[in-house]
């Protein structure tokens, strides 16, 4: 029976918990591609540059974004990369051709600089090894360089290069998108499975504390999707912790309804990979569960990019610097809901990428850095999704879409934390009390949605309502950096533990509630 006269409703109960919010869900990605590294995080001549040449203004924005993990150095770039080129005195580093993005790679930023930068950010590094043009030997040597304390050629080289203490990198990707014919050293699932298993065995022997990610499919439309994961995991099941997923979304031919339903596709992809991994586990009579690393996801207008073959070799230049609208921000916000509701299996996720290249942060050479529209939903979710994810029971009108059939117009996820973190959330009245965050998305391109939310039992007080709705297709720029931002809204009306809100068409909202410390239970 409906709780109110609202067209859609959400029921939350603290008994229905998916699991703790994994902090690694709010990861990002820095690839040697376009202006992500050079001219993005790194610009030695810039007014804010530190002693390594990294822009402090970009570092500050990356901190505000809440990036918890940063994957590096690729992406397609890693599959032709010689990591040794990027360590040691900068003057001695070779200049090479990067065949992935047809660029001249100066190697002025490499493993040591990146690791110093990521630690300064307060985030965890996730390094990828080259299993395209290289193999187990080079992967093990990089691991030894990074993590072995000293007394061997590779670890002593790190010490000579200025890093006395081991970098202690725990997260390692075994290659990148090895199923894709565009990848340097592209392999069949059987070939990759064998190489990944060999590399994993060697790397684990060097450092048993590492966590390993096997490559899954490059996207769910790959002809080998499913079969690839099954075969790769047959080879690597006992040796890896995660299998990767990648997905990019865009609006096709003005079909905003399908674009707004992109999270439905992400949900399906996650469910399919979980089922495939569990089927392999069942066949092997294994009690182990493989987790998922969604280590590339975002909105990317791929149809505007002519592809690698359209490029000529060049020095650093702008590549796929998509300008994002409020509509894109709503979709990004919704993709985060899909990741959160699967947090029992998706343990890591990296938005691709961090700066300039399909990124929440943009820079101008010698000029300012600013937030794109997609920055706020990410930063606010990273900040306010705390404690446990609650499974939301949603009753919603259905919407027809060209790509995904009928989808629920309303999407919702919530998180419940026993105590808010006052350093993250100064607006909370009682820092010892509980915090509830409710994330809502109205996927209709043109119709608002009256929605009621039944909160879990307790004495909840509304503390904030933030939202963004698609409207004019405006974008942020150096001249107008705040044109498209999430805005504070009127606090929702509450009665008997039920909140009523009118969600604008094509909108993302975050409702925040707090409860005093002497919780009624
Ligand atoms: O993020 C851009 C590219 O997209 C990455 O290099 C690759 O892994 C993916 O296809």
Q: Which CATH class is domain 8-15+388-515?
A: mainly beta
Q: What are the tokens at 293?
A: 């690393």
Which residue's CA is minimally distant from atom 5 of ligand 1? Answer: 75
In this prediction, residue 95 has a pLDDT band, given cuts at 50, 70 and 90, of: very high
In this prediction, residue 518 has a pLDDT band, given cuts at 50, 70 and 90, of: low
* CB within 8 Å of 368: residues ≥ 6 apart: 57, 478, 481
The rounded Å distance from CA 417 to ligand 1 centre is: 35
DSSP assignment of 210-252 equals -EEEE---SSTTSTTTTHHHHHHHHHHTTT-SEEEEEEEE---
Q: How many CB atoms lie within 10 A of CB 287?
A: 6
CA dihedral 292, 425, 329, 462 (to 10 degrees): 110
User: Which residue bears the tokens 């939903």?
Assistant: 377
Nearest atom in ligand 1 to 182's CA: 10
Which residue's CA is minimally distant from atom 9 of ligand 1? Answer: 75
Percent of the chain clearing pLDDT 70 (strictly above): 95
Q: How many Å is the Cα radius of gyration of the chain? A: 23
Question: pLDDT tens across 8-45, in order?
Answer: 999 999 999 999 999 999 999 999 999 999 999 999 99
Residue in 29, 31, 353, 356 to alter for ligand 1 test, most ligand atoms within 8 A of Cβ: 31
In this prediction, residue 432 has a pLDDT band, given cuts at 50, 70 and 90, of: low
Which residue's CA is minimally distant from atom 2 of ligand 1? Answer: 75
Is the pLDDT higher at 459 or at 31? 31
Residue in 78, 177, 185, 248 to alter for ligand 1 test, most ligand atoms within 8 A of Cβ: 177
Q: CB of 264 within 8 A of CB of 404? A: yes
* CB within 8 Å of 340: residues ≥ 6 apart: 18, 21, 25, 381, 385, 389, 413, 415, 439
Mean pLDDT value across residues 91-115: 97
**Per-domain boundaries in the chain:** 8-15+388-515, 22-384
Residue in 248, 352, 353 to alter for ligand 1 test, most ligand atoms within 8 A of Cβ: 352
Pocket of ligand 1 (CB under 6 A): 31, 33, 74-76, 176-177, 218, 296, 352-353
Which residue's CA is minimally distant from atom 8 of ligand 1? Answer: 75
Q: For residue 471, what pLDDT is reported?
A: 85
Q: Report d(CA 322, CA 200) in Å as an integer.
A: 36
Nearest atom in ligand 1 to 296's CA: 1
pLDDT above 90: residue 431: no
Which residue's CA is minimally distant from atom 7 of ligand 1? Answer: 75
User: Which residue bears the tokens 């009108």?
Assistant: 397
Mean pLDDT value across residues 67-80: 98
Q: CB of 301 within 8 A of CB of 322? A: yes
Q: Which of 177, 198, 251, 515 is catalytic?
A: 177
Mean pLDDT value across residues 107-125: 98
Question: pLDDT tens across 356-410, in order?
Answer: 999 999 999 999 999 999 999 999 999 999 999 999 999 999 999 999 999 999 9
Rounded mean pLDDT of the chain? 95
**CATH topology for 22-384?**
TIM Barrel (3.20.20)
SS (H, E, C) 71-134: EECCCHHHHHCCHHHHCCCHHHCCCEEECCCCEEECCCCCHHHHHHHHHHHCCEEEEEECCCCC
The rounded Å distance from CA 499 to ligand 1 centre is: 41
Give yes or no: 296 in active site.
yes
Q: CB of 389 within 8 A of CB of 414? A: yes
- The angle subtended at Cα 268 by Cα 266 and Cα 274, nearest 5°, is 105
Burial classification of residue 51, based on how many CB atoms lie within 10 Å of its CB (0-12 exposed, 13-18 middle, 19 or more buried) = exposed
Q: For residue 242, what pLDDT is reported?
A: 98
């Amino acid at each position: 029976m409906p709780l109110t006269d609202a067209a859609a409703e959400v029921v939350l109960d603290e008994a229905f918990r998916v699991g703790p919010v994994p902090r690694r869900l709010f990861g990002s990605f820095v690839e040697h591609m376009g202006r992500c590294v050079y001219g993005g995080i790194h610009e030695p001549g810039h007014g804010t540059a530190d002693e390594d040449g990294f822009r402090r203004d970009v570092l500050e924005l990356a901190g505000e974004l809440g990036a918890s993990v940063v994957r590096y150095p690729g992406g397609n770039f890693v599959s032709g990369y010689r990591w040794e080129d990027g360590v040691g005195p900068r003057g001695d580093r070779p200049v090479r051709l990067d065949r992935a993005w047809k660029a001249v790679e100066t190697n002025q930023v490499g493993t040591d600089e990146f690791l110093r930068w990521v630690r300064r950010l307060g985030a965890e590094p996730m390094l990828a090894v080259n299993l395209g043009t290289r193999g187990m030997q080079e992967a093990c040597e990089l691991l030894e360089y990074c993590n072995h304390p000293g007394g061997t050629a590779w670890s002593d080289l790190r010490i000579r290069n200025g890093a006395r203490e081991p970098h202690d990198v725990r997260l390692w990707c075994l290659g990148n998108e090895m199923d894709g014919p565009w990848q340097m050293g592209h392999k069949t699932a059987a070939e990759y499975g064998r190489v990944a298993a060999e590399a994993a065995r060697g790397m684990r022997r060097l450092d048993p504390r590492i966590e390993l990610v096997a490559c899954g499919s490059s996207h769910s439309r790959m002809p080998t999707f499913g079969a690839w994961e099954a075969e790769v995991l047959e080879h690597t099941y006992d040796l890896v912790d995660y299998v990767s997923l990648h997905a990019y979304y865009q609006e096709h031919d003005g079909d905003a309804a399908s674009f707004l339903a992109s999270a439905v596709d992400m949900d399906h992809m996650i469910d399919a990979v979980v089922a495939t991994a569990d089927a392999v586990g069942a066949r092997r009579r294994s009690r182990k569960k493989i987790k998922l690393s969604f280590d590339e996801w975002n909105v990317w207008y791929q149809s505007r990019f002519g592809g690698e073959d359209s490029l000529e070799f060049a020095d650093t230049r702008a590549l796929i610097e998509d300008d994002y609208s409020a509509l894109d921000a709503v979709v990004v916000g919704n993709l985060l809901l899909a990741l959160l509701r699967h947090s029992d299996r998706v343990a890591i996720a990296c938005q691709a990428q961090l700066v300039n290249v399909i990124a929440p942060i943009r820079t101008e050479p010698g000029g300012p850095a600013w937030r794109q529209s997609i920055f706020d939903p990410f930063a606010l979710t990273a900040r306010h999704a705390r404690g446990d994810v609650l499974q939301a029971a949603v009753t919603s009108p259905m919407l027809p879409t060209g790509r995904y059939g009928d989808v629920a117009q309303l999407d919702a996820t919530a998180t419940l934390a026993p105590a808010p973190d006052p350093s993250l959330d100064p607006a909370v009245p009682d820092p010892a009390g509980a915090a509830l965050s409710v994330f809502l998305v109205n996927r209709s391109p043109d119709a608002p949605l009256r929605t009621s939310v039944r909160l879990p039992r307790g004495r909840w007080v509304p503390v904030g309502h933030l939202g963004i709705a698609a409207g004019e297709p405006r974008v942020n720029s150096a001249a107008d950096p705040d044109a498209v931002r999430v805005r504070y809204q009127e606090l929702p009306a509450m009665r008997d533990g039920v909140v009523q809100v009118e969600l604008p068409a094509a909108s993302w909202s975050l409702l925040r509630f707090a409860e005093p410390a002497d919780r009624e239970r």
